[in-house]
Structure 1
Amino acid sequence: MAGEKRAPRLHVDGAILGYKRGLRNQHNSVSLIKIKGCDSKEDVDFYLGKKVAFITKAADGAFRVNWGKVCRHHGGNGVVRCRFRRDLPPQSIGGRVRVMLYPSRV
């Protein structure tokens, strides 16, 4: 307890805002994510290409993960567009995701 070291956290929390939208359509394949601590277009540059995990719990108690990737910014206030392997369900809007700090481009 006192002498144990905890592994470093390799993710940043994010919130699902919804889908990319137009005037008369929405693009279910592109989700909008607000990353905690990312408040400008310049901050988004660090997160481009990073992996995003949407984690759910199945009926049998197992955890399921839908992986995605940050593909570009959306506006100027730190919201990003992400593409997931399987489109996020509508129930996920308002839910949480983990934005992984890898792969690194440094």
Structure 2
Amino acid sequence: MIYLRHHGLEPASPAAMAFAALERQIFKRLVNPAMYAAWGFGILLALTPGTTSWSAPWWLVKLAAVLLLSWYHGILSAWRRRLRDDARPEVTILRRSAVVPIVLMVVIVTMVLVRP
């Protein structure tokens, strides 16, 4: 994770400033548009007649996972700003948080494909 590499750098160094700029560009060009697209396509899919069985519980699990993923996006954005401002989040939290999007995406895709 890029935040771990940034965390290990000396605050206000040229390398730390370069990482802050890189993190901002990644969010601006990749992460934010991906989140907006996921929400947009999800809403379109939910509004398409006949695609969702509203009595089945799978869509609630998927919605909960998507909400958690959006919350995680907000946490990453806050960490990016804290690293930019030389406030350092816990290293153990940064290491453990890398698994969160993978687990949530597996849950989301499983709910869509299997519809248990």
Q: Using CA pairs under 8 Å that are at least 6 residues apart, name the structure with larger relative contact order, 1 or 2.
A: 2
Q: Which has the higher helix share?
A: 2
Asked if Structure 1 and Structure 2 have the same fold, meaning a TM-score greater than 0.5 normalized by the shorter chain, the answer is no
Q: Which has the higher strand share?
A: 1
Larger radius of gyration: 2
**TM-score (norm: length of structure 2):** 0.21
